[in-house]
């Protein structure tokens, strides 16, 4: 500092070089800022996260299905009317649509513990349609209990 105060020539260059050398030692001695994580740890954590995401997805799907069945339960008469219209068309696509709606009505009845009510309404509804063999096969394939004609 005394030499610097007296204005010794070339001292600033020497001073800067010495400061750089001191700084390089600190940079080399410092450990890396990131923590090392093993592959096994990453794999375990990623599996746990994936499992959690799948559980959340399944829960969202379950809740969406319950909301859909609630909608069907609330508007049963409209769904029964749609079933009747679909079967009355007498086409394969109409039968498929009617079957899909009947399955949803049955699932809603199961969810709300109204299976017997559904069965009673189904038995009375299906009687006039038992003469449609293609539709009856579809119902039997989906385990609907058909009354004796």
Closest-CA residue to 94 (of 129, 50, 51): 129
Residue 45 banded pLDDT, cuts 50, 70, 90 = very high
CA distance 145 to 132: 16
pTM for the predicted model, two decimal places: 0.65
Q: What is the pLDDT of residue 149?
A: 57
32 has a pLDDT exceeding 70 = no
Q: What are phi and psi of 75, to 5 degrees?
A: -125, 45
CB under 8 Å to 11, separation ≥6 — which residues? 3, 4
Share of the chain above pLDDT 70, in %: 92
């Amino acid at each position: 500092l005394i030499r610097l105060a007296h204005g010794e020539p070339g001292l600033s260059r020497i001073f800067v070089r010495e400061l750089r050398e001191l700084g390089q030692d600190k940079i080399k001695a410092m450990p890396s800022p990131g923590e090392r994580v093993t592959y096994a740890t990453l794999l375990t954590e990623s599996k746990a996260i994936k499992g959690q995401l799948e559980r959340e997805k399944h829960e969202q799907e379950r809740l969406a299905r319950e909301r859909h069945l609630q909608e069907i339960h609330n508007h049963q008469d409209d769904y029964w009317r749609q079933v009747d219209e679909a079967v009355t068309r007498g086409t394969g696509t109409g039968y498929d649509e009617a079957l899909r709606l009947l399955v949803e009505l049955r699932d809603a009845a199961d969810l709300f513990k109204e299976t017997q009510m559904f069965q009673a309404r189904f038995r009375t509804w299906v009687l006039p349609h038992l003469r449609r063999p293609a539709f009856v096969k579809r119902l039997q394939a989906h385990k609907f209990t058909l009354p004796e004609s």
